[in-house]
C-alpha cells in the first residue's frame, strides 16, 4: 500500500520489527534512529529499549534497570540518547550502548506547579547544546537547560492564547533556533524564539503530539487523530494521510512517535494498542 503525495510517497511495512521469541512491545510511545540507522524502540514493556537494524533485525536491548514509563526519545548528533519518562518525572541521558550518563529531575518525585518536572513529555537539543523539555501533563511549561543541566528559563501557562498550552507534548529546535512546540489539545504548533518569546502558530491539526525534522528541515508530524503530516518550515503541507483502521496504511490506535533515517524512510509508533510500529519506505 502506498501513501502520501507528490515527492513524499511511501510504501508501508506494518510487520517490520522482528522480535526475539517470546518478547513483546506493549504500547510504543517513541521511536528514534541513530547515525548508523539503528532504530531504538522505546516501549512500555519488560524490555523498554530495543534496538534493531534498518531491516528490522533485533540487535540488543537495555534500560530495564532504569526506564519505567516510556514517553519521549531524542538522539543527538553524537548518538547520545535522551529518554523522557512521564510518570517518574525525569529525563535520562544514555550512551549509545545504554550506559546511564545523568538524570534530570528526581525519579518518582513530581515537583510543584511550574517547577521541572511534573509528568514531562519530550526533549530536544538546540544547535548550541541547550536542552528544551516539554513538561506537559502536570505542568504547562517548556524548560530550557544549559548543556550541563542548569535551568535557564521556563515559559508557558494553561490556556489557549499565545504562549499558553493545553498539554505541551513535544518540542524541536531548528537551525535558526526557532522552537516548535506541539500544543496538543489546542490542535496547534506554536513557534517561539530561543528565549521563549512567542513568534507565531500553525493551527488546524488533529491533536499534534510529536515532531521530527529531517536533514533538510522538513517537518514530520504525528497526530493523535490517526494522521501523519509533512510540512516545510513555512508551515505549508507537503503531504498528509491517515485514518483509523486495521489495514497496513491505517492506524489501529494513535500515532505518538515519529523519526526517520538517512535514506528518507521513517517510522511511526502508536499508543492505545500494543505493538503498533510501522515503517514508511520512501518511493
| pLDDT, tens only, 91-109 | 999 999 999 999 999 999 9
Looking at residue 140, which CATH number applies to its domain? 2.120.10.30
Q: What's the number of domains the chain is made of? A: 1
Residue 131, classed as helix, strand or coil, is: strand
Q: What's the whole-model pTM score? A: 0.97
- Domain residues for 54? 2-282
Q: Given CA atoms 207, 16, 63, 152 in this order, what sign does their dihedral have? A: negative
CB 163 within 8 A of CB 198: yes
Q: Are 53 and 41 in contact, with CB atoms under 8 Å apart?
A: no
Query: Any residues with CB less than 8 A from the CB of 29 and at least 6 apart, and which?
Result: 42, 43, 44, 70, 71, 72, 256, 257, 269, 271
pLDDT tens across 10-63, in order? 999 999 999 999 999 999 999 999 999 999 999 999 999 999 999 999 999 999
Q: How far apart are CA 165 and CA 32, in angstroms?
A: 25
pLDDT tens-digit series, residues 250-283: 999 999 999 999 999 999 999 999 999 999 999 9
- CA distances from residue 15 to 18, 137, 248, 279 in whole angstroms, order as listed: 8, 31, 9, 8
**Residue-wise pLDDT tens digits, 214-250:** 999 999 999 999 999 999 999 999 999 999 999 988 9
Distance, CA of 249 to CA of 158 (rounded, Å): 35
Amino acid at each position: 500500500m502506498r501513501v502520501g503525495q507528490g515527492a513524499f510517497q511511501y510504501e508501508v511495512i506494518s510487520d517490520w520489527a522482528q522480535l526475539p521469541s517470546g518478547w513483546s512491545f506493549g504500547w510504543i510511545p517513541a521511536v528514534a534512529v541513530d547515525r548508523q540507522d539503528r532504530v531504538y524502540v522505546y516501549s512500555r514493556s519488560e524490555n523498554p529499549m530495543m534496538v534493531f537494524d534498518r531491516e528490522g533485525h533485533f540487535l540488543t536491548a537495555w534500560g530495564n534497570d532504569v526506564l519505567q514509563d516510556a514517553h519521549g526519545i531524542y538522539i543527538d548528533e553524537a548518538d547520545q540518547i535522551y529518554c523522557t519518562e512521564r510518570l517518574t518525572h525525569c529525563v535520562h541521558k544514555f550512551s549509545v550502548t545504554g550506559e546511564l550518563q545523568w538524570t534530570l529531575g528526581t525519579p518518582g518525585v513530581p515537583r510543584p506547579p511550574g517547577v521541572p518536572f511534573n509528568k514531562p513529555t519530550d526533549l530536544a537539543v538546540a544547535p548550541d547544546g541547550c536542552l528544551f523539555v516539554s513538561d506537559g501533563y502536570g505542568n504547562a511549561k517548556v524548560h530550557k537547560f544549559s548543556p550541563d543541566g542548569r535551568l535557564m528559563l521556563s515559559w508557558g501557562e494553561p490556556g489557549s492564547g499565545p504562549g499558553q498550552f493545553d498539554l505541551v507534548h513535544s518540542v524541536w529546535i531548528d537551525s535558526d533556533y526557532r522552537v516548535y512546540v506541539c500544543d496538543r489539545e489546542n490542535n496547534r504548533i506554536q513557534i517561539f524564539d530561543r528565549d521563549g518569546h512567542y513568534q507565531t502558530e500553525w493551527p488546524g491539526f488533529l491533536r499534534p503530539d510529536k515532531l521530527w525534522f529531517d536533514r533538510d528541515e522538513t517537518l514530520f508530524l504525528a497526530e493523535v487523530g490517526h494522521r501523519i503530516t509533512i510540512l516545510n518550515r513555512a508551515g505549508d503541507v507537503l503531504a498528509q494521510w491517515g485514518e483509523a483502521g486495521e489495514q497496513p496504511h491505517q492506524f489501529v490506535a494513535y500515532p505518538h512517535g515519529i523519526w526517520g533515517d538517512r535514506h528518507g524512510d521513517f517510522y511511526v509508533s502508536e499508543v492505545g494498542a500494543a505493538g503498533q510500529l510501522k515503517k514508511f519506505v520512501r518511493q
